[in-house]
Amino acid sequence: MVEPYQWLIAHAQTLGVDPALCGPASVDLRLSGHIRTAEHMGTMGRYPCWSERHTDATVLFIPECFYLCTTQETVHIPETHCALLSMRSTWARHGIGHKMAGFIDPGFHGQLTLEIDVSVPVSVPIYAPFVQLAFVRLTEPTVYVYHGQYQNQTGPTMGR
């Protein structure tokens, strides 16, 4: 069962989300200004070294690059729930694509890393609502919560 607005509002502080960004069945998460970028080299799909930057204004996403971004929020997924992460349709309609690992396990705590590529140049303001998170109640609390390598991550985290 996907949790509705009233549940999101009631649990917003515990979940680490802004109640003002709660919708009918999901909560919007904002784009942080911490970005990692890899430019595509065009031959055999290889990428050069990653560059990292922090911005307080906007991010210009350009084609032929791959981006690791992060949410502004540090979220906590309760033991009674998992969560589903997806791109907000507004940004998808502007040409932003996602290769997100969109399933978040019960017990996860941290910022969410977003794997982004684009088909056309798109400028996104920092702290703009960028992705949405839906909380799904488990049939019963799990006895095995997430303790993986990305627990408590901050910033755009590279694959480990």
Per-residue pLDDT tens digits for 13-38: 999 999 999 999 999 999 999 999 88
Q: Is residue 82 part of a domain?
A: yes
Tell me the residue range of the domain where 121 lies: 5-42+51-137
Q: Residue 39 pLDDT > 90, yes or no? A: no
Asked, for residue 70, whether it belongs to a domain, the answer is: yes
- Tally of domains within the chain: 1
Q: Distance between CA atoms of 125 and 43, rounded to whole angstroms?
A: 32
Give residue 101's pLDDT.
76
Q: What is the pLDDT of residue 45?
A: 54
Q: How confident is the model at residue 42 (pLDDT cuts 50, 70, 90)?
A: low
With residue 6 as reference, give the H or E element that holds it: helix 5-15
Write the CB contacts of 150 (distance below 8 Å, at least 6 apart in sequence): 108, 110, 113, 157, 160
Q: From the candidates 39, 73, 115, 140, give the one annotated as an active-site residue.
A: 115
Q: Is residue 103 part of a domain?
A: yes
The pLDDT value given to residue 49: 63
- CA 118 vs. chain centroid, Å, equals 16
Annotation marks residue 39 as catalytic: no
Average pLDDT in the chain: 91
Q: Give CA–CA dist 117/128, Å, rounded.
A: 17
Instruction: Indicate whether 157 belongs to any domain.
Output: no
Q: What is the pLDDT of residues 62-113, one digit of tens each?
A: 988 889 999 999 999 999 999 999 999 999 999 998 887 789 999 999 999 9
- Whether residue 149 is contained in a domain is answered as no
Q: How many CB atoms lie within 10 A of CB 80?
A: 15
